[in-house]
Amino acid sequence: MILVAGLVLLGWVLRIEALESGLPGLATMKVNSACAFGLAGFALWRIHLGEPGSRSVRLARAIALGVAGVGVLTLFENMTRIDLGIDQLLMPDSNPQGAHGGPQGRMSPATAVSFIFLGLSLACLKSLRPKVAACAQWLAMPVLLVSVLALVGYAYGVNSLYEVRPYASMAVHTAGCLLILIASLLAADPAHGIANIASSSSAGGVMVRRLLPALCLALFVLGRLGLAGQQAGLYDFRFGMALMVLASCAVSAAAVSLTAMTLRKVDLTRRRAEAQVTVLNAGLERRVEERTRELARVSADLAAANVALEQLSLHDGLTGLANRRYFDAHLATQMAIMRRQRRGLALVLCDIDVFKAFNDEYGHQAGDECLKKVAAALRSCCRRPADMAARYGGEEFALILPETDLRGAQRIAEAAREAVAKLRIPHGPSAMAPHVTISGGISATQRKVDFTVERLIAGADAALYQAKAEGRDRIATLPVQPIYQRA
């Protein structure tokens, strides 16, 4: 547009009619129109290449509004018949008034209206606001319609399509420049409006790209050929009209058919892709389900392993009773409960009498079997959920008896001793009995005595040594001395 504007201005300076009017004898492009085209081309160039919000883009939008202002002032002159002097401001028109159907140097009303919409469209082009940016293409539609009407009028020889009497006519290259400029404006922003649809890969985009240009160009050519045939006398007006309608229907049907075939191929390709995606999704879901089941199985195995590991960490591997670690934690917990709720707590420590001699006589495997049987007998004496039988170490065992006083602990300890005796495990080296026996010591909390875990264990251990000193195969109890504290 800048080049066209320069050539037209050069034609006005050098009085070259071909540059002024495009074709001899036609209306000329006015100086104001050429300047407006140059400014519009510059504005479109800077808006398209510049960064949004930059100084050059803001300057370009101001120039676009100036182009719209030229159109507004010219339209005001045509409507009010007031001469503002802008028509002869840059360069006077040497043609007499009325030679081209209008005042000297003044563009036609259609051109002025086109510049108004063109300037506003350029000002909205590529705006940061999506709604304003979309308005740019809709504002360009009236300019597109005016330019196409003028070109059709020149091609068909219909003066009323490009001439508004008693005002000036729109020059042929003015209409062509408007058409090219609007096409460039639409192509500059494919993210909004009709350009977004035309450039998309959707069915609507394919239809616009194939049908719209083909039908417009084909109907234009058919109409011009039909008119040329009538002017040459080959047929009359009615035959020419019927031929025009028939040819238009054939071209339209061919264009629609070709477009339908293209859309069908696109649709089949899309369906095949969707079917492949469905198959892939089904396979993916199947693999996900298999992986989920596998993870669930692994999680179950891991949970079972954790339970087994917890059992191994808290229970003795040989006897199945609580190990020393579990014994210490459970005794500390029961001691805290005893202090908070002021209830009784008893501890029984016992071991197998002369067990070393048993191992020496019968072997370690027999000793392990003996430990298992004794552990089972002790476990059977723990009737309540909070009672615990534990392997204290080696051949030593312990019974934790919550909410049990000294007498209750003596009854349970005696029952445990009798349960071991009833096993009748042969013990030849024993001097107390011909079978395996146990000795035990009891320690129980008492009122007015400050008990700790260590003191409770020490009391039961002292009672156990007392039972061994008295001859074994018995349960002993020692009184616990109170601990006095300073006030």
Scanning the structure block, which residue is given the tokens 């649809």?
197
Name 81's bridge partners: none
pLDDT tier at 101 (50, 70, 90 boundaries)? very low
Kindly tell me if the per-residue pLDDT of 459 is higher than 80: yes
pLDDT at 480: 55
List, in sequence order, every residue forming a beta bridge with 169; answer none if it has no partner. 163
Residue with the larger pLDDT of the pair 63 and 235: 63
Q: Burial code of 183-192, b = ≥16 C-beta within 10 A, e = fewer?
A: eebbebbeeb
Please list, in sequence order, all residues whose beta carbon lies within 8 angstroms of the beta carbon of residue 78, skipping any fewer than 6 positions away.
106, 109, 112, 167
Would you say 457 and 443 are in contact if contact means Cβ atoms under 8 Å apart? Answer: yes
Residue 177, pLDDT score: 92
Match 């959707």 to its residue by tokens: 202
pLDDT at 90: 66
pLDDT band at 167 (very low <50, low <70, confident <90, very high): low
- Matching residue, tokens 């001859």: 471
Model confidence at 98, in pLDDT bands (50, 70, 90)?
Answer: very low
- For the cut 50, the answer to whether the pLDDT of residue 487 exceeds it is no
pTM of the model: 0.55
Structure tokens at 267: 């649709």
Catalytic pick among 20, 285, 395, 414: 395
Mean pLDDT score, 324-350? 88
Alpha helices, DSSP H only, in 349-481?
355-362, 364-380, 406-421, 453-469
- Residue 40, helix vs strand vs coil: helix
The region that residue 53 occupies, defined by phi over 0 for left and psi between -120 and 50 for alpha, beta otherwise, is left
Task: Please confirm, yes or no, whether 395 is among the known catalytic residues.
Answer: yes
- Whole-number pLDDT of residue 481: 53
Of 91 and 113, which is predicted with more confidence?
Answer: 113
pLDDT at 476: 92
CB 435 within 8 A of CB 425: yes
Q: Which of 404, 406, 397, 380 is nearest to 439 (CA)?
A: 397
Query: Residue range 433-446: average pLDDT?
Result: 90
The domain made up of 324-477 has a fold known as Alpha-Beta Plaits (3.30.70)
